[in-house]
Amino acid sequence: MNIAKKRIVVTGGAGFLGQRVINLLVEKGVSRNNIFVPRSNDYDLMVWENCKKVAEDADIIMHLAAKVGGIGFNQKYPGEAFYDNSIPGMQLMEAARIAGVEKFVIMGSVCAYPKIVSVPFKEKDLWNGYPEETNAPYGLAKKMLLVQAQAYRQQYGLNAIYLLGVNLYGPGDNFDPESSHVIPALIKKVKEARDSGRDHIDVWGTGSASREFLYVDDAAEGIVLATEKYNNQDPVNLGSGMEITIRELVETIAELMDFKGEIRWDRSKPDGQPRRCLDVSRAEKEFGFRAHTSFRDGLRTTIEWYEKQRS
């Protein structure tokens, strides 16, 4: 698909990932006048009429918007995590179908995978169990959009594609402790401890759980490549293929931020899913995507951005 002349809707386009996607679309030749970002104040996608308005003139819809956070957020707001991540996407896809939108791109989540599954996660294993309990409402809400996309392709011929993303990080991330993911939460925690001269930090869990992270600019590249080149019903993992334990992550952040204090593990708090690492071969095969930012370089850039902002 040549996207240069297309009218493109990007939900979440004002956010951390969405801004990068829009910048990349412009680099690809899409006019900013042809990119529409429905802001929630004006176009609440919980409202059906707003979904119809958003879809009516679109050639492509990229549904990137999500209400998301870390383990604490998901434990505190499971109802919102389910409802607010399912209804807008479902309604918008239905509106896209009615309006004859050419392509509907969905950013799903690694949280849709079963709690226990062989590593690296392969797309074929997506239905082999129930998601990890602390993020199941969010993961299942996102997973239902895959079901809808495949059903709409079968019945209506809607060209809907589904990408399974891992945790993103990078400059501009959400550092609010109420809703941030693990990397920004740890960077904030370490900076505050270092700057105040504290001799330790407390971190949730045991440190044994593993995660995979994808630099936000790489994620944007993968989404745009899929929009241009991928047209099949099968979900596609979008990640770096790199696995790191939370313990290694904390130690790396402490090293890069020159924090010499003790790391104390609060074992009364949950680890979340035991392991996370994706098989990313399908993305490379189908649309030529491979993450190119090394984790250490991406982490250093993120830390430097945050330090500059806070100063």
DSSP secondary structure string for all residues of the chain: ---TT--EEEETTTSHHHHHHHHHHHHTT--GGGEE---TTT--TTSHHHHHHHHTT-SEEEE-------HHHHHH-HHHHHHHHHHHHHHHHHHHHHHT-SEEEEEEEGGGSBSS--SSB-GGGTTSSPBPGGGHHHHHHHHHHHHHHHHHHHHH---EEEEEE-EEESTT----TTT--HHHHHHHHHHHHHHHT-SEEEEES-S--EE-EEEHHHHHHHHHHHHHH---SS-EEES----EEHHHHHHHHHHHTT--SEEEEETTS---SS---B--HHHHHHH-----S-HHHHHHHHHHHHHHHH-
Strand-pair partners of 167 = 213
- Contacts of 124 by beta carbon, 8 Å cutoff, 6+ apart: none
Closest CA to 71 of 128, 111, 15, 109: 111
Catalytic residue among 43, 77, 138, 306: 138
**Is 138 marked active-site?**
yes
Active site residues: 138
